[in-house]
Amino acid sequence: GRMVRRKIMHIIENKKKVLIAVPHQDWLHCSVVLSIIKILNDTRYDKFVLLPPPYGFMTVESKRQYIHNFFIKKEFDGKKFDYLLRMDDDNGPLKNPLDLIELDKDIIGCVTPTWAYAKKFAGQNPIKFNAYDKYFDKKRKKWGYREHKKMKGLQEVDAIGMGCYLVARRVIEGIKEPVQSIAYNDGSVFKGEDITFCERAKKQGFKIYAHYDYPCTHFKEIDLREMGEGYKEYYKLKHK
């Protein structure tokens, strides 16, 4: 009996600790709330939910700094956090992302469908998943990113979107500072936070994965005329 109690206490004391951070705009989609409730019922890990002040009170950059500092400096039951699980306020994971901790990877993205229609890309599938491979664009003579093609199970990729992802402490300590989007002089985004984060992580030798068996919902307001136009162009080119 004493041996069993010791084993139980060892398991309890050595549970990995996870910070669940949800940047928001004073609103969470019900799918995200339900996902958080399910995750909190997972007894394998100790969890702490962080809801930073909404964007009206903090800029996007200061919110990233807030989450970064909280993860690095704060302790939970006297111990540092082992993993950061971050999800957007409209990105509810359909499965429990904490399952992925057992894989012991540096960064794993739970793939999210995104609306990617633009007239200059008419004819392409207007919905893309946010897992990317780096490639050299011969026409533009520069490096870029495109959707990862093999959409099955765990895949190593060059970059992920940051709608919902799990990252180990070693990565955040290795990168040291929270990343920011890189903008042109006119303020338009040249390289988003997600790509910048992934590039810095890879430069430090960390590996990035996307798991297609752990997808997310994604709620977005779209003009139905734009959706119709996007799919019309897509099917027109596909059935030529």
Which residues lie across from 80 on neighbouring strands?
Answer: 75
* Structure token pair of residue 68: 């970064």
- pLDDT score at 11: 44
Contacts of 193 (CB under 8 A, 6+ apart): 64, 162, 179, 180, 181
pLDDT above 70 coverage of the chain, percent? 82
- Tens digit of each residue's pLDDT (9 = 90 or more) over 67-109: 888 999 998 888 999 999 999 999 999 999 999 999 999 999 9
* pTM score of the predicted model: 0.84
Residues (pLDDT < 50) of the chain are: 4, 7-12
Evaluate whether 55 touches 118 at the Cβ level (below 8 Å).
Answer: no
Which residues lie across from 18 on neighbouring strands?
Answer: 47, 83
- Tens digit of each residue's pLDDT (9 = 90 or more) over 22-43: 988 888 999 999 999 999 999 9
- pLDDT score at 25: 81
The residue length of the chain stands at 240
| Distance in angstroms (rounded) separating the CA atoms of residues 114 and 198 | 18
Which residues lie across from 104 on neighbouring strands?
Answer: none
| Distance in angstroms (rounded) separating the CA atoms of residues 200 and 211 | 21
Which residues lie across from 25 on neighbouring strands?
Answer: none
- pLDDT score at 179: 62
